[in-house]
Amino acid sequence: MSSRHIAAAFACALAWAAAFGQSASAPYHREPQPAARAASASSDSNQVRFSGEVIGGNPFERDIGHDLLFRLVPLGGDEAGGWVIEIVPKEQPADDAVEFSGIATPPYHFYNDRYLAGAYGYSVKEAVAMTQRQFNFVLSVGDRRMAEDVVNAALYPSAASDQEKQRIASEAERVRLGHGVLRILRSRVTLGKEGQPDAIAWLKFEVALNFSSALTLQAVLAPKPPSSR
């Protein structure tokens, strides 16, 4: 992974230490699935695996059980040429739609492993060259709201009292996360013509999801230093 990616992740970790010591308009295509694989995706298994293919400009959706959906959402505008990974509840809250992976996968406001696209200064060729992508996700709407509180406090530290910092740190420890790995198996890039950007025309991929990873939001935001042994 490039030095830009590593530097962004390090910056996010520093922000935490200092503080505490788009959806596509096209309809989602659901892949036809053999009965046995469809059952495994909609069960409450803590380990879910599947593979898929997606064509440029089209979204992808898969039922992963636990009342959640895995999506690849096409990006447009300045962030064109690919997709972003999303984990969303099957039933969205009435007051506001939520997404579960963005809040749990740093670095924030930079390119991260959720982007299978040309974005934040990365080309589509660089994007497909990073064939293994890792991401995290919260498991409920309640945890999503708690995680937002924690991340905002970490990224935008203020004159919070020691008691407030302790409360936020405690919430970070309570927010447990699922973990996912997406591997790009094959890809095809279309070169842009007449001023148009390059684009990812096609991806074949596999996904492994772990709903009992033992990760917490605190561990993700403030990872322990590597052992000296």
Residues 6+ apart with CB under 8 A from 89: 67, 68, 69, 98, 100, 141
Q: What is the pLDDT of residues 17-54, one digit of tens each?
A: 444 443 333 444 444 433 334 334 444 589 999 999 99
In a domain, 7, yes or no: yes
Per the structure, how many domains does the chain have?
1
The pLDDT score that the predictor gives to residue 16 is 44
In a domain, 228, yes or no: no
The residue segments making up the domain with residue 66 are 3-221
In a domain, 33, yes or no: yes
Long-range pairs, 159-165, Cβ under 8 A, ≥24:
160/19, 165/19, 165/20, 165/21
Residue 77 tokens read as 């505008």
**Residue ranges of the chain whose pLDDT lies below 70:** 1-44, 77-80, 159, 223-229
The pLDDT score that the predictor gives to residue 81 is 74
In a domain, 145, yes or no: yes
In a domain, 174, yes or no: yes
Alpha-carbon distances of 161 from 19, 53, 175, rounded to whole Å: 11, 49, 22
The pLDDT score that the predictor gives to residue 119 is 85
In a domain, 227, yes or no: no
Do the bridges between strand 199-216 and strand 47-55 make them parallel or antiparallel, or are there none, so unpaired?
antiparallel
DSSP class of 111: -
The pLDDT score that the predictor gives to residue 143 is 96
- From the list 32, 48, 30, the residue with the least C-alpha distance to 40 is 48
The pLDDT score that the predictor gives to residue 95 is 86
In a domain, 124, yes or no: yes
In a domain, 51, yes or no: yes
The pLDDT score that the predictor gives to residue 24 is 37
